[in-house]
Amino acid sequence: MAGFRARSTSGEPAKGRPGQKGTAGYRRRSESHRKEHEDKRSARGSGDRVRDVIFGVLRQVSAQDAYANLVLPGALKSAGLSGRDAAFATELTYGTLRARGLLDAVIAEAAGRPVGKIDETVLDALRLGAYQILRTRVDDHAAVNTTVELVKANGEEKAAGFTNGVLRRITRSSPQEWLDTVTAGAEPLAALALRHAHPLWVAEVFNGALGGTTESPAEELEAALDADDQRPQVHLAARPGQISAEELALVTGGEEGRWSPYAVYLPEGDPGTLEPVQEGLASVQDEGSLLIALALLRAAVDGDRGRWLDLCAGPGGKTAFLASWAMGDGARVDAVEPAEHRAELVRTATRGLPVTVHVGDGRELSGIQGLDVPAGDRPGYDRVLVDAPCTGLGALRRRPEARWRKDAADVAPLVSLQRDLLRSALAATAPGGVTVYSTCSPHPAETTEVVRAVAEETGAVIEDATALFPELTGVDGPFVQLWPHRHGTDAMFFAVLRRPVPTATG
């Protein structure tokens, strides 16, 4: 399923439908008609307000490459959904998007045709219906009927019978039977990937990072894929010096984290409505991110002058955590972010904290005014964080549509950027200072290979990052690779590098 691509929307004529010549004039008229048709459908609705919202988001994700986490909150608010209705809508939206590849395999089998030959609007409805049948406790009858009504309400009345037939066919077999059917004859790794709704290439990356091979998948691979296929728990970060994790847990009804003294786990609910988050005392942040920031703070530095640098600062979560600590230590943080709109997010997140935000390219620090890069009597920064842009394979569970949009070809350009950023960070680090390199990816090409290559090239010393977290289990050192199935965090990676102090000669 990793190679599946959605049906083209390039305007090519559909087979068996005469009169569609593909001309610009026809496309303009067709687009105008389609928009008018969609406006009428939207006004009508299916009679199920919750599923109308879900389906609207699914269509935006499929047709407009929207991100569910950005459009769903507004859709819920516009529809006046809250509480259990909002939670139900969120579960069905994210779950349907997360499981797309597996759902498509089942739908294709039940429909007797490739999903690429099914109208995209109908296909999104089928995905929603199939998800409810296969992965929720929603009554089969309700799942089928509400999906058929969605299809009718969205201008596909002629496909109602087809939709009904496909979904009823799915209800006749158990979820386990469908898993067995769609993975029959597949290689072990491909079968595991499909069972847990991952593209094959992503499963291959996880397998390699866990020490497995194609012939002999890693023992932990299924647990890793399964954890990545589950709805993630919301983590909060208590801001140092402003609120403790114990206080935050009491106020929010959460539970203190396992690994970071600043983490709190939320059982459920919208964290944006919590008073500590609204007041800036806490933020929504995976516990793994806190460990990365703590690694930078805990690493020993020769003569810390309180000059810290966050080289890839947007959207500002780690920067704010570091700056909260810096305030108590009398330190300052320079935050570099190339995109102005993300730099503004950093300014918002760090308002009132000792942070200066700079808009510029982290690979060319000499071109950014006001930075403490080594020059003359300026030794550079004592602590530098490089939370590098990456494939994001370690946070797929939090971005439900992402696994089906990414491609193995994305890796190489990112690796080149990551190496350049790490070189730049080490060049900006004072002798005796430390650089922490991190990614939200377990891909060895983005993690250990980047660190080892740049360390060898620059002479930086790789420190044992695990020594900073003696309570952290399931890590081998000198690097730290976190995993959802081991640690409950995203699959984040970090390494600590020290710039050596030159030895005197003569």
According to the annotation, is 158 in a ligand binding site? Answer: no
What token pair was written down for 39? 């406006």
According to the annotation, is 334 in a ligand binding site? Answer: no
Name the nearest CA neighbour of 52 among 82, 77, 75, 83: 75
Q: Give the distance, in angstroms, between the CA of residue 6 and the centroid of all CA atoms in the same chain.
A: 21
According to the annotation, is 387 in a ligand binding site? Answer: yes
Q: From CA 94, how far away is CA 166, in angstroms rounded?
A: 22
Name the nearest CA neighbour of 335 among 404, 327, 343, 467: 343
According to the annotation, is 129 in a ligand binding site? Answer: no
Residues identified as active-site:
440
According to the annotation, is 318 in a ligand binding site? Answer: yes
Q: From CA 421, how far away is CA 362, in angstroms rounded?
A: 6
What is the tally of helices (H) and strands (E) in the chain?
Answer: 20, 12
Residue 499 DSSP symbol: P
DSSP 274-342: SHHHHTTSEEE--HHHHHHHHHHHHS--TT--SEEEESS-TT-HHHHHHHHHHHHHT-EEEEEESSHHH
What token pair was written down for 379? 């030794």
Residue 173 DSSP symbol: S
DSSP 17-49: -TT----HHHHHHHHHHHHHHHHHHHHH--S-H
What token pair was written down for 9? 């929307």
Cβ of 252: how many Cβ atoms within 10 Å?
A: 21
Helix residue ranges per DSSP H, 154-282:
160-171, 175-183, 188-195, 200-209, 221-228, 245-252, 275-278
Beta carbons of 442 and 481 less than 8 angstroms apart: yes
Biggest CA-to-CA distance, the chain = 88
According to the annotation, is 316 in a ligand binding site? Answer: yes
H or E stretch including 463? strand 461-463
SS (H, E, C) 91-143: HHHHHHHHCHHHHHHHHHHHHCCCHHHCCHHHHHHHHHHHHHHHHCCCCHHHH
Q: From CA 357, how far away is CA 349, in angstroms rounded?
A: 11
Beta carbons of 466 and 478 less than 8 angstroms apart: yes
According to the annotation, is 317 in a ligand binding site? Answer: yes
Strand pairing of 332-337 and 307-310? parallel
How far from 161 is each of 33, 157, 497, CA to CA, in Å?
A: 24, 8, 62
What are the binding residues for S-adenosyl-L-methionine?
312-318, 337, 361, 387
